[in-house]
Each structure stands twice: as structure tokens, then as C-alpha cells.
Amino acid sequence: MKQKTKRIYSKIAMVALVASVVFQGVPVAQAASVTSLSDVMSRLKASEAANHEIKFVTPTGLTAGQTIILTFSADFTNVTNIVHTDIDFAEGDSSNCSTASFTERTLAASPSGATWGADGDSATTVTLTSGTGTVTAGRCVRFRIGTNAVSQATGTNQISNGAIDDDDTIAISGSFGDTGTIAVDIITEDQVNVTATVDPTITFSVSDTTIGFGSLSSTAARFATGDTNGSGTDSAAAHTLAVATNAASGYVLSYNGATLTSGGNTIDVAAITNDADGTQSAEEFGLGISTNGSSTVATGYDHNSTPGNRDWAFVAGTTTTIISRTTPTNTETVSAFYLANIAGNTEAGSYSTNITYIATGTF
């Protein structure tokens, strides 16, 4: 009886040993948890279509023929409309999803060789399938789903957010063996309406309000200067006018004033075209205008041209436009030049005038 019992125990021990050897020789798949999971969505508002940029580190990596499945919780809609052109898949060169440099993989509706298959294959899942392609273990991978996918073509379909509720999820699984879950919160409104008012503005300044010709001559033209002594050349403006406005249709700059006057005596106004200094021995009081901007100088006042082609004009007693523009402008500097000639019989006297400049915004 004892010998029979020993034989039974011996057989049991042998079976246990064989079983131990067999099970030790069979590899058992161990699922790993992905790390550094994130999903940057373009919108979190309920029922809005949104882009997704999903990143995670796969500890195991992928071998040929394996899959990654992204499962969106049931509140998300339009997943089934996602096609491979709405998806980008890229592998990073490190495990740091923030700093990795990503290389895009070629995608198609189904895998073939180095081309990966990608598709929204059900109401809740997007599946990526390798042909012969692999992903190195410990690398960060990136999915872009929606109109932010541009590797194959610009995506046209987006996944729509569900209603407001508790956190929705995107679960990561597949035959590659790694798993993980991302939570996102769908909310009532994800945009902040910011308002501001820009008031209509116009600024205007005159650099010098006292200018002069000095003594006029019937044998040579004189040009007004800021020191009131005058000059024989118009190499510098007598003064400048600065205009800035946000008026939608720009501004108009005009003037109003009398010609040079001494008691009852006046100097005739000028109407000079394409001439640097008018006609000596003839009475002429004229204004020329130039600008450092793109405004239009009125006909008869153009001082932007070369000296021999300059225009001089003055209209006494009438508000007259000298420059205008049809768009808003930052500060534009307008230069004013003044020409005076007299005849040999021009009455002696102290001549002066006050010219009013008016800048008007066209709002």
C-alpha cells in the first residue's frame, strides 16, 4: 500500500514539473500603460465640431501588422465619418511629447507595406493599422484628427462634441498592447466674448505759426522761412502740418486766408505751373505742398516734383483743399512752401496775412 501511494505521488510530481516547464516556456503578453497622455481639442463647447491632437508615449511600441484603437465615448458623434485624409499619424524622436520632433507616416484607407491604414471604422472608434511599419518602444506618437490633419491632404471632417455632462473619454487600446484613457470636459461655452471701443480720432498740428519772406525783390523770388528772414531757395519748408486719423474715409486738409496785404494794397495770387520760382518783376503769392505719405496733393499745389516742375497757387478768401486721402493714416507730415514775387511798382509797405489751416476727418 505504501509503495502504491509513493508511485501516485511520484506521478503527480512529474506532471507538476512538466506543467511548470511548459508554462515557463510560453511568453505571456503584458499590457503596459501609455504615459504623457493628452488631447488638445480646438473646441470644448457642447455639440461643436472639434479637431483633436492626441499624444502619448507607447512603452511597448508597435510591430508590423499591429493596431492602435482610439475609442471615443458615446457622446462624441461623427466618428464614423472620419477617413484617412482626416487623420495624421506621426512618430516622435523621443519620449518627450513637448519637445520631440515628429515624422509623419503615410496613411491610406487600408495598410499596404510602409503605408498605414487609418479610418473611423465605427461610431466610436478610429483604428490605425500597420502594414510593415513599426514604432520604436518608448517614443511619443501623435494623432491629428480633423481639419488640422494636413499630411495626406487637408482634413474636411471633424468629430463633434456631445452634450454637457461628466467627463468624456478617449480610450487607447489595440493589438500593440498598451492602454490608457484621456478625459476631456465638454462645457456649455468655451469662448469668451471680448469687446472694445475705438473712438473716432483726428490729430492735427502746425509746427510753426510765424513765418516770413524778409524783404521782397522784383529781381529774385523769395521763399518764406521759419525765422521770418526768408530765403532765395525753397530747399526747406517754411513749416509742416501733421495729420493722423482713424477716419474710415481719410481726411481733407484745406486753408482759408487773404493774400499778402498792406493796408489797401495787396500782392496778386499765383497760378504757376511747372516752374521753380515763378516770374520775377510780376506780383505772385503762392503756396506749394508736399507730403511724406500717400495722400493726394490738389492740382496746382504739387511741390513733390523736381524744382523745375513745381506748381504754386493761392485762392484768396475761399476755403480750398490742398491735400486729401481716402483711408485712415498714421501721422502724415505735410510740408508747406511759400513763394513771393513783386513787380517794380508794387507799393511799399509791411505786408502780412493770416492763413487758417483746417484738417477734417471723413468718418
How does pLDDT run across 170-219, given as a tens digit for each residue? 999 999 999 999 999 999 999 999 999 999 999 999 999 999 999 999 99
Residues 213 and 329 in one domain: yes
Domain-terminating residue out of 184, 218, 247: 184
> What H or E segment, with its residue span, contains residue 358?
strand 355-361
Q: What is the mean pLDDT of residues 257-282?
A: 97
Question: Over the Cα atoms of the chain, what is R_g?
Answer: 43
Residue 167 burial (10 A CB sphere; 0-12, 13-18, 19+): exposed
Q: Is the pLDDT of residue 305 over 50?
A: yes
Residues 179 and 220 in one domain: no
Q: 3-class SS at 11?
A: helix
The reported pLDDT for the residue numbered 5 is 44
Residues 271 and 170 in one domain: no
Within 13 Å of residue 266, how many CA atoms lie on the same side as its CB?
10
Closest CA to 333 of 201, 202, 207, 200: 207
The reported pLDDT for the residue numbered 132 is 98
**0.75 exceeded by pTM:** no
In the structure grid, which three cell numbers stand for residue 262, read together? 498792406
Closest CA to 50 of 196, 131, 161, 189: 161
The whole domain housing 93 covers 35-184
Residues 119 and 223 in one domain: no
In a domain, 264, yes or no: yes
CA distance 267 to 285: 7
Q: Is the pLDDT of residue 14 over 90?
A: no
Closest CA to 275 of 311, 236, 328, 222: 311
How does pLDDT run across 152-181, given as a tens digit for each residue? 999 999 999 998 876 799 999 999 999 999
Q: What is the mean pLDDT of residues 324-330?
A: 97
For every residue of 185-210, DSSP letters joined together read --BS-------------EEEEES-S-
